Structure 1
């Protein structure tokens, strides 16, 4: 039998257990608490570890430890502040800003955070963010000296944006007063640097840029400011040393390397530039072909295609990727006219690709560009579709697609594609330029100008981008910003005659005659050099404009006569003198000069054309026709004599003969835009509107960038197809670029289309401007009257319609004329029954200043371009 428990001892054992277990549990709990730290303690341990690593110079591991803090305690103020400071110190302003923003969310009243955010936003030119954080800092501590400095910087920025130099100078004085207490404040120093730059105080600017670089050695902008000063001082050794220092500080920044190459070239040291590029190419790893490509491109520009081909052969033999370097070689062949061989070479390279990649897709995009250039848009489009099927975000393919969409007026689609490119590559100059094209086509001039500015900035004011921006600003009459766009580009290429020519025109338009004369003199110096004919012509043209503007047309003609009378006078000034005399009504003198010139150069086509014009102006159309007929026989592919013969036929009322002449010319030159333009004018003149629209459609397909073609196509569609919604929609799309125009003919087209789309009130100022600018055009007057009626200005409409209808040639009819008569009848007798609305008024032709010759019915007989 088993032993039984002693009933006397059992209770005492139970009691002992009761005493022991709580003690054991307590002991165990105590041990557990002693071995497990609180979350706050663990977070602080990571923070202290990060501080220690910073002391040791191990920044990367310190950053990791600071980030570990937030896994435990996301609101740890000290750790996040130290992380932001560390990131900022190593030059990562974007990440530092992000950390400070998180602090501002968690501690919205922390002054130090707001000051730090304001300073970063200032350095990064984030205007809205700067405004936001400075405003909050002022609310928190308006009397804090650092906040006062921020507020000064904000006010100075506002004055700069408003071009209020008086206020800027006053604020600069306030800044000087704060400098003794804050001698190392970058915001205050930046204001003083801007003031020194405006005052051309180069010594003060030298001192300030040096100090700012010492304070912010990792701030790229400070290096750019220092470079600009050295360029202004023309300190060539200093520029080179500074650029090399910049490269050492920012070894991964391609722009710094490009600046050095540009400097060496501007210093006439191409061999040193090539040696530097070769050094970069040799040092680059095999997987980075870009430096070798840069070297080849440079050699091609400096020593020609054969030398570049030689370098490519060396690179390929040394193991260079054939997908890149054979494609580059094919590109040179293509540019050299060996188009079929180049396309075959690229196809051969692509045949070796087994696994598609972005690199192979880049080559496909290059092939697509070649096919497009040869007119095979279908083949190019197929390749682009293939690329985008594999990679919908491929930049080169998206840019090609965007270009086609812009040509087809699908601007929304183009903008979406280009935004995708710029999201990937914010500094893609081609994408920015295309975006400017898209917004220009969409009738958004402000956005167009914005992207032109971005492109110029991204290109570091390279001449091509700076010139396009300046041209846009010049056309808007914004001469000072145009000058600001041109000057930095001229510092890079001081002898660029296209930049100088536009700068001269800008100074004449301001007007700033002394500086215009300086540009003219520089162009004369360049014109005296071998191959300087264009520069000399530009100088002469600018001088003529200067004289006409300051001393009158007689002085300009006198100068032109002086040029034409020089022993070494070229053909240009002599032909120009004939044109000027014809334009001034001095036909006899012009004819005499033309006959003399024809005696000296009897076989010169431009001289013969000029003589024909002079004969016609003198009333001898038979002599003019004889000259032109011989020119057609001698120069069967020159459209000018055909067009002038057509004009002579129209002037005599022989429209059939005029049409036959243009048809003959088109047989010799199918698709020639000048001839098609003239044929469209003839069709419109005889009332064959469908034929005219078809021809303008053809012209638009050839060159949808032409604003004059766009205007005429839209005008015809809106005038004669106003009852066709699809035609009005097409006209509206084509005419979007005419928004904000001040050209009367374009104003008429755009305003009339606005009216057709129901925006009669918006149309009114356009049509008022058109009617004022084209007072003799009956249809423009009628358009205005119909719009006045639509917005309830009955008396104005009645007077305007009477005026327009009285001006109409006898027998002219059309939908808008019918509508005008019906509207006038209703206005004169409101109680009478009214017929249904008639058609719409035909738009008038624009004067195509930069397009093919205008329609025969309105085209004046003028001297040809030589």
Structure 2
């Protein structure tokens, strides 16, 4: 009976298998019929049914993969071919396609395995041999394997000689020519390839590279024009052509080319207007917009989206200083418009302006309305995320920005905002990477480029900062901010020859602003090189009695510790023009350096009496009173200054520091909190607030808030920031981080007993008693020598040292 049941069971199983295979074949036939009928959607459904019923149906899997690849679903196609290659390792065509797709992704190591299998199955296939050569070459280059490079190159040349149509073989030969700077040969190879395949964008790019290196200006222009015609969907080519015209000083040609694109592409006129704004200014851009908006008949692209162009015009008016008119114009446009994508863009233009004007409530209302209409609107997501970053809600901000990047992966402003989120979190590497992506996406736009340059400078990477600035100048070769920054980098590098070149470059522009910057840099370099005599000659010859020249000389003399000479020079300028605010300020400053405080304060008082908004003069008075130990009088001056400048961040900062120094910690925290709310990007404010929250308060909420504020300070090279973050890490029990930061801070701030104490406590917690003893003893010595009493800190240091002594004594007793 048991044997009978087993036989019956096997029969049913076989019947079921036959049935599933038959059904799979029926689905497969249906899929082929549907594909022939031009219905790939339903065909894919049938092919999925095949693979559900029979996972080993190789032809169905191959057809499915080919179909999704043809529809642009490359990842899905690759996944299916990978499975096919695993199921049938001897399948040459499958391994060949996997190799080709991995090569296209730049995954040479992954491609190598499948290329070997493809070659074993298809030893005479020229495409397989070309790909093998390409993979071997790239891996040899990565491994610096000279013999491997030579052998791969010879293989590629042999394939190419036998079959000139093999792209990967030609690409390998060209890669080696690029590596060796053989630009004429590269041009010949690219031309030979293009004679076979005129539609190959990589070959056109290689040809353009060769022409650029050879300096063939006519060839570059012709090549770029050809590429923009052949590949109109590649927006970067049009950008490259326009930038090339601009670098050559041919802005009219660039503008003419952009004008030809109007009507052919949706955003072409907006791009043209933006270019005119950047090269010729706001007024010509407004004129071009007015002409388009008032034309009879109105151009089709403008008529179809008049709201966008009207909003663009209002934004330009705002930029032109017509702020109230622009805001009212945008409000009217939005109020009268039905819900649409254009209305969303107009709302965002207004929201950005209102945010700039600190009218946050209305700006947030506009963003909310936009996201209600379109939850994926890129600029609304970006602006919302920027507010979250300011509120330290970086996790939520990053999620929003990733959502925005799903819609616009190369949006420079979204990338720049994402970099701010990473910076706020303390993820410095991610911040740098994303900001560089933003710079590239914006085609090295000056303001974004300078942000990245400042990051590199802060990291001490002056050569990288220099290269980046030069890259940007190749695209905007007259931008004063970029040239000035390049000169500052060269000054920091003490490369005086290049500083001179930068100054000459500015003078060659023959523009008042450029000349003024050149003079400033000239004076700066002479002062830094301690060439005071030459500086005085330069000032006399070029600036005469200009107050900037006087300031240059005075700064230089002070820098050289020539205080008497500086005072004499400033006095002469003051005597010549006793009502000139700059002359008064300079003379008062030199008197302060000579400890003639009463006379200095009187002159600074004269300045603030004439103009109570002279913030620097108020601060100078405060500093002089502080130096003389007149704390109450200094505080009174601060309060007086704040009656005239109630929102001045510098004065509020000093008042908070004063409260901190005088021991009124709660009031200092209140002031820092207010400053932080107004400008949470300022690292100094963040550092001081986080430091006070973590040192003066012991509750968990204050510590958590301190950590959120101070995250951006981790791995900073600034000792004070290292101390703040390290102490917070110590209090959170993150001892590895704490020791790393506090050890560095204690080394740099060896004169600060608080920092030595912090490092000592971290060493104790991480079981490093000898290191702890050393820094705690140093703290005790500093406190003993300190003119100001710090009894609380002294007691804490003594307690920590006492705690270290107990285990040692116990050990001796044993």
Are the equivalent residues in 2 in contact too, given 1:395–1:421 (CA < 8 A)? yes
Cross-structure match for 1:3: none
CA–CA separation in structure 1 for the residues paired with 2:72 and 2:463: 34
Asked if structure 2 preserves the Cα contact closer than 8 Å seen for 1:500 and 1:519, the reply is no
Contact 1:115/1:137 (8 A) holds in 2: yes
Larger radius of gyration: 1
In structure 2, C-alpha distance between the alignment counterparts of 1:93 and 1:482, rounded to whole Å: 43
Aligned mates of 1:254, 1:575 — CA distance in 2: 49
Q: CA deviation at 1:268?
A: 3.3
Once the two structures are overlaid, the 10-residue window that deviates more, 421-430 or 760-769, is 760-769
1:684 aligns with 2:668: no
Match of 2:574 among 594, 598, 608: 598
C-alpha spacing 1:598/1:186, structure 2 compared with 1 (3 Å): farther
CA contact (8 A) 1:278 1:292 kept: yes
Closer, same or farther in 2 for the Cα pair 1:252/1:647, shift >3 Å? same
The whole-number CA distance in structure 2 between the counterparts of 1:211 and 1:507 is 44
Find the partner of 2:157 among 180, 195, 202. Answer: 180
Query: The residue matched to 2:329 in structure 1 has which SS?
Result: helix
TM-superposed CA distance for 1:426, in Å, is 0.8
Deviates more, 1:136-145 or 1:370-379: 136-145
Measure the CA separation in 2 of the matches of 1:95 and 1:580. Answer: 66
Conserved in 1, the CA contact under 8 Å of 2:588 and 2:599?
Answer: yes
Q: Show the counterpart of 2:17.
A: none
Q: How does 1:691-840 map to 2 (within 5 A)?
A: 691-721=667-697, 723-808=698-783, 809=786, 812-813=789-790, 817-829=794-806
Who is 2:561 aligned against?
585
The RMSD of aligned alpha carbons is: 3.7
| Residue 236 (str. 1) matches residue 220 (str. 2) | no
Cα gap change, 1:40/1:635 in structure 2, threshold over 3 Å: closer, same or farther? closer
CA contact (8 A) 2:567 2:590 kept: yes
> SS in structure 2 opposite 1:401?
helix
Task: State the alpha-carbon separation in 1 of the partners of residues 66 and 790 from structure 2.
Answer: 78
SS at match of 2:157: coil
1:382 is aligned to 2:359: no
Cα distance in structure 1, aligned partners of 2:500 and 2:517: 10
Q: Distance in 2 between matches of 1:71 and 1:792?
A: 62
CA contact (8 A) 1:717 1:727 kept: yes
Distance 1:563 1:477 in 2: 32
Distance 1:313 1:420 in 2: 34
- Pick which of 409-418 and 295-304 moved more: 295-304
Partner of 1:311: 291
Deviation at 1:597, TM superposition (A): 3.0
Give the whole-Å Cα distance in 2 for the aligned partners of 1:390 and 1:697: 36
Of residues 824-833 and 411-420 in structure 1, the stretch that sits farther from structure 2 once superposed is 824-833
1:379 offset after TM fit, Å? 1.4
Deviates more, 1:734-743 or 1:561-570: 561-570
- Is there any run of 5+ residues in structure 2 with no aligned partner, and where? 1-22
1:657 equivalent among 627, 633, 652: 633
Paired residue secondary structure (2:362): helix
Cα-to-partner distance string for 1:450-508 (whole Å, 9 max, x where unaligned): 11122123233444434433332333233454455344333222333443444455567
What is the distance in 2 between the residues matched to 1:628 and 1:797?
48
Q: Does the CA contact (< 8 Å) of 2:133 and 2:172 recur in 1?
A: no
* Corresponding residue number in structure 1 for 2:240: 259
CA contact (8 A) 1:172 1:191 kept: no
TM-score between both structures, scaled by the size of structure 1: 0.79
Give the distance between the partners of 1:601 and 1:156, measured in 2 at CA.
Answer: 73
Please say if 1:566 is aligned against 2:541.
yes
Deviation at 1:274, TM superposition (A): 3.2
Equivalent runs, 1:332-347 vs 2, <5 Å = 332-347=316-331
Which residue in 2 is equivalent to 1:444? Answer: 427
Distance in 2, matches of 1:649 and 1:674, equals: 17
Task: Please give the per-residue CA displacement for 1:276-313, whole angstroms capped at 9, x wherever unaligned.
Answer: 333322445xxx4x223233333444253341342243
* Partner in structure 1 of residue 618 of structure 2: 642
Partners of 2:24 and 2:435 lie apart in 1 by: 60
My pick for the range that moved more, 359-368 or 393-402, is 359-368
Counting matched residue pairs gives: 761
| 1:524 equivalent in alignment to 2:507 | no
Equivalent position of 1:25 in the other structure: none
C-alpha contact 2:507 2:514 (8 A) present in aligned 1: yes
Change in Cα spacing, 1:37 to 1:201, as seen in structure 2 (3 Å) is: closer
CA distance in 2 between counterparts of 1:410 and 1:628 reads 43
Alignment of 1:224-623 (within 5 A): 224-283=205-264, 288=266, 290-301=267-278, 302=280, 304-305=282-283, 306-314=286-294, 318=298, 319-354=303-338, 356-503=339-486, 513=495, 517-518=497-498, 520-531=500-511, 533-534=513-514, 537=517, 541=521, 553-554=529-530, 556-557=531-532, 560-568=535-543, 571-572=547-548, 574-623=550-599
**Distance (Å, rounded) in 1 between the aligned partners of 2:92 and 2:677:** 61
Q: Is the 8 A contact 1:398 1:418 kept in 2?
A: yes
User: Is 1:104 the equivalent of 2:108?
Assistant: no
**By how many angstroms is 1:571 displaced?**
4.7
Hey, what's the Cα distance between the residues in 1 that align with 2:370 and 2:794?
A: 53
Larger relative contact order (Cα-Cα within 8 Å, sequence gap ≥ 6)? 1
TM-aligned CA distance change 1:585 to 1:111, over 3 Å: farther
Instruction: Identify if the C-alpha distance between structure 1 residues 506 and 619 changes in structure 2 by more than 3 Å, giving closer, same or farther.
Output: closer
**Is the contact between residue 322 and residue 349 of structure 1 (CA under 8 Å) also seen in structure 2?**
no
Q: Which residue of 1 aligns with 2:651?
A: 675
SS of the residue aligned with 2:158? coil
Looking at secondary structure, tell me which structure has more helix per residue.
2
Give per-residue Cα distances to partners, 1:395-431, cap 9 Å, x unaligned.
1111111100111111101100000000111111111
* Residue aligned with 2:478, SS: coil
Indicate the residue corresponding to 2:20 in structure 1: none
Pairing 1:131–2:112 present? no
In structure 2, relative to structure 1, the CA distance for the partners of 1:389 and 1:95 (3 Å cut) is closer
State TM-score, norm by structure 2.
Answer: 0.84
Shift of 1:353: 3.3
Is this contact kept in 2: 1:118–1:150, CA < 8 A? Answer: no
Q: Secondary structure at the match of 1:796?
A: helix
Question: What is the rounded CA distance, in whole Å, between the counterparts of 2:207 and 2:65 in structure 1?
Answer: 27
Report if aligned partners of 1:520, 1:539 keep a CA contact under 8 Å in 2: no
> 1-side partners of 2:550 and 2:424: how far apart?
39
Separation of aligned partners in 1, 2:736 and 2:204? 53
TM-superposed deviation, 1:720: 0.7
Decide whether the 8 Å contact of 1:63 with 1:83 is kept in 2. Answer: no
Find the aligned partners of 1:97 and 1:212 in 2 and give their Cα distance.
29
Matches within 5 A, 1:36-55: 42=29
| Aligned residue number for residue 843 of structure 1 | none
Q: CA 1:795–1:278 in structure 2 vs 1: closer, same or farther (change >3 Å)? A: closer
User: Residue 565 and residue 718 in structure 1: after superposition, are their counterparts in 2 closer, same or farther (change >3 A)?
Assistant: same
Cα offset for 1:523?
Answer: 3.6
Task: For 1:767 and 1:219, locate their aligned partners in 2 and report how far apart those are by CA, in whole Å.
Answer: 57
Residues 789 and 746 of structure 1: is their aligned pair in 2 closer, same or farther, counting only changes over 3 Å? same
